[in-house]
Amino acid sequence: MEVGRDERMSAISPPVFTQCVYLIRHGETEWSLSGRHTGRTELPLTEHGEAAARKLGERLRQIPFDRVLVSPRQRARRTGELAGLTPALEIEADLAEWDYGDYEGRRSAEIIATRSDWNLFHDGCPNGESPAQVSDRADRLIARLRAPEGNIALFTHGHFGRVLGLRWIGQPVEQAQHFLLSPASLSELGYEHDRADQPVIARWNCVPSAITDPVPHPGPGATGTAHRP
């Protein structure tokens, strides 16, 4: 039996993915302000951090989320609460910040003073997580998140969020050192031309004052990414 053209095309065309993942770093804390590595330490948001989280919520509340996942850490959960998404928050252990081990609470300058060639994304932290471990954690989470459609919000942290963004597009963890994430920033991960085999970073590190209204998804078959700044 001859296979029809439509059947042949469906057999070779990648599935249509209209999903958008919104990556949110928690608001400012005293340690993020002073540059101290904050992994497992529980810290509240500063007054400025709380105000930024509320401002971010003005945009996030316009988006119909299917799921809202949050790191177990207090600063991430508080950011989600102040953004107005409390009822939907689900704790996700894999969104926790990099485990800094012996470098917890220390500034990069202090570490480099005794270890001049140290780079978090190359070397990791003694008695903490290695870059490979953090990359594997990001991959594990991404595998559970990928779906053909829907909006997902992720409240997470600076270093892990950078790794997550780069692993979304298949780049090695070392490349994350070139992508900064500010406190209370919003990034968007999606797909070029709605193709599952073309994951993209559609928006990166937008702070509340720079975030524009979400752009409605153009729908299957339209060109471009799901949401652009």
Six-digit token pair at 3?
């296979």
SS3 148: coil
Q: Is 26 a residue of the active site?
A: yes
- C-alpha separations of 197 from 9, 191, 221 in Å: 16, 8, 15
Give CA–CA dist 212/144, Å, rounded: 29
Task: Say which of 26, 37, 217, 227 is annotated catalytic.
Answer: 26
Give CA–CA dist 143/128, Å, rounded: 24
Give CA–CA dist 180/176, Å, rounded: 8
Give CA–CA dist 38/20, Å, rounded: 28
Which helix (H) or strand (E) is 189 found in, with range?
A: strand 186-191
- Taking Cα atoms as reference points, which of 155, 142, 138 lies closest to residue 25? 155
Q: Is 104 a residue of the active site?
A: no
How many Cα atoms sit within 13 Å of 214 on the Cβ side?
Answer: 21
Task: Say which of 28, 50, 92, 97 is annotated catalytic.
Answer: 97
Alpha helices in 5-73 (DSSP H): 5-12, 30-34, 47-60
Neighbouring residues of 87: CB distance < 8 A, sequence distance ≥ 6: none
Which positions are catalytic? Answer: 26, 97
